[in-house]
Structure 1
Amino acid sequence: MAERAVLLPGMLCDSGLWAHVEPELALPAVHPELSAPSITGMAEQVLAAADGPFVLVGLSLGAIVGFEVARLAPERIAGFAALDTNVAAPRAEQHESWRRMARRTRAGDFAAVVDDVLPTMYARADPPAELAGEFRGMAERIGSRRFLAQLAAQHTRIDARESLRGITAPALVASGAEDALCPPEFHREIAGLLPGSELHVVPGAGHLLPLESPVATAELLNRLFRRCPPAT
């Protein structure tokens, strides 16, 4: 088993995404700061934050950063978990959506942008108050400045299929069955590109798998950890 797990959250999320999962994990966790305005810059922040080989666990934007970590330093990856994410380059309509969000955020409309994003995060467009509150709390801690950096980073995304082919470590690919942003078919493709992967679709969960299904998420990650080579 590797010595540590590096946990990378998605856009508008921070380490609170893993709050209900991390206490159940068999490995200690590292939470790198992701504040650079490019995917490569974020990947470099990850590599600077964790010594030696590690199990990289990324959700959404965090997994996209993980793909770049694997491209830059595949020897550092002892295991890889891609949750609720997308390996393809952004579509034109995604670029336009990010530009609109950036314009509104700069105009002082950050809270309303968060409210607009919230219904896409969970299996239900009207999630329970506790889940809605957890997402809003993370977004408030991220704040408008870091959100703008995240949006800028999204514009630098590239097709990461070749990076995935270079990951030979044990891998987990998992998706919420009700993820409207990154549906299960995205993950079937990702699993097909990762030779050492297991694919799981979690019933009743949306885009924020660790918050909606923390028990299942922890079980899947611990199963991955046991498949990883021992630390040397």
Structure 2
Amino acid sequence: MKMAAINGTMIHYREDGDPDGAPLVFANSLGCDLRLWDQILPLLPKGLRIIRYDKRGHGLSDAPPAPYKMGQLVTDAEQLLDHLEVRDCLFVGLSIGGLIAQGLAVKRMDLVRAMVISNTAAKIGTADLWQQRIQAIEAGGVEALADSIMERWFPKAFRETPALHAWRNMLTRTPAQGYIGCSQAIAGTDFMTPTSGLRLPTLAIAGSEDGSTPPDLVRETADLIPGSKFHLIRGGGHLPCVDSPEEYARVLTGFLRETGHV
């Protein structure tokens, strides 16, 4: 396990693959840690330098008191990549990780040469919606929202498997301050204008059964970036790298090859 002092917070990260390979960076969704990507990693091409990290408030990273701002989360990613001496990565962000991807691509063109924005948007939800969720967590912890979150995350067939319990446990063990802080960051973020100014190879991935960021929302964000590609995983939920790992890895591998990253 590797830790780095980043932006005033201890951030947990992991590197796999070839340390001299082209960097492929993953940013996780709200309520998940870097294990989100475990199933697809063995299915990706060899020779990549794969970097994953737990954003603040999640996994083994510190959970400072809320609120957090999206600018902090973007700076966390930026400073971690600077710490690791990464340039020209392909950045994959899912949900809040996709917001981080957009913010980082706008801020540091030298860090991100291409990106995958998965199950995300330039603006996710409304301030009122996020405030309602924050109040529910303040009253009853993350457990209070766990069942409704599972319904939004996963298609019905996956929810009937034992694997669901692992993801529910990961969610409910997320520190309340971390979940609330990141929720506040999402609530305050509208990247419609800055994302529309991006000009880099972009792949948007959506799941047809995603109850958090429906396909039309993902496609709307993809359409902001000229030349972007959109892929719909039929039957996939909000975390298709979990419920549809083979298709997710195949699509990601195709994009890696198209962009000359492998």
The TM tier, using the shorter chain, reads: 0.7 to 0.9
Given the two structures, how large is their TM-score scaled by the length of structure 2? 0.78
> Which residue in 2 is equivalent to 1:25?
44
More helix by share: 1
CA shift for structure 1 position 68: 0.6
**Quick one: percent identity of the two aligned structures?**
22
C-alpha distance in 2 between matches for 1:180 and 1:119: 7
Residue 8 (1) aligns with residue 27 (2): yes
> Which residue in 1 is equivalent to 2:5?
none
CA shift for structure 1 position 173: 1.0
**Aligned-residue CA RMSD in angstroms?**
2.2
The equivalent position to 2:164 in structure 1, one of 132, 153, 173, is 132
More strand by share: 2
Please identify, of 207-216 and 25-34, the stretch whose mean Cα deviation from structure 2 is larger: 25-34
CA shift for structure 1 position 230: 5.3
> Which residue in 1 is equivalent to 2:79?
48
| CA distances 1:21-72 after superposition (whole Å, capped 9, x unpaired) | 1222232321233217111111111111222121110111110111111121
CA shift for structure 1 position 90: 4.0
Specify the code of the residue in structure 2 equivalent to 1:112: A
C-alpha distance in 1 between matches for 2:74 and 2:199: 15
**SS at 2:182 equivalent:** helix
Please identify, of 222-231 and 13-22, the stretch whose mean Cα deviation from structure 2 is larger: 222-231
C-alpha distance in 2 between matches for 1:80 and 1:180: 23
> Which residue in 1 is equivalent to 2:123?
88
Change (3 A) 1:164 1:8: farther
Instruction: Point out where structure 2 has 5 or more consecutive residues left out of the alignment.
Output: 1-20, 58-67
1:9 and 1:58 in contact (8 A); partners too? yes
C-alpha distance in 1 between matches for 2:113 and 2:261: 9
C-alpha distance in 2 between matches for 1:4 and 1:63: 17
Mapping for residues 115-154 of structure 1, pairs under 5 Å: 115-124=147-156, 127-154=159-186
Specify the code of the residue in structure 1 equivalent to 2:177: R
Specify the code of the residue in structure 2 equivalent to 1:38: K
> Which residue in 2 is equivalent to 1:190?
221
**SS at 1:11 equivalent:** coil
Residue 71 (1) aligns with residue 102 (2): no
Change (3 A) 1:128 1:55: same
**SS at 1:193 equivalent:** coil
C-alpha distance in 2 between matches for 1:230 and 1:139: 32
**SS at 1:20 equivalent:** coil
Mapping for residues 190-229 of structure 1, pairs under 5 Å: 190-229=221-260
Mapping for residues 101-116 of structure 1, pairs under 5 Å: 101-116=133-148
Specify the code of the residue in structure 2 equivalent to 1:113: L
* Greater relative contact order structure (CA < 8 Å, 6+ sep): 1
**SS at 1:58 equivalent:** strand
Specify the code of the residue in structure 1 equivalent to 2:26: L
Change (3 A) 1:125 1:218: closer
Change (3 A) 1:38 1:216: same
Instruction: Point out where structure 1 has 5 or more consecutive residues left out of the alignment.
Output: none
C-alpha distance in 2 between matches for 1:172 and 1:123: 23
1:174 and 1:199 in contact (8 A); partners too? yes
> Which residue in 2 is equivalent to 1:171?
202
C-alpha distance in 2 between matches for 1:24 and 1:164: 32
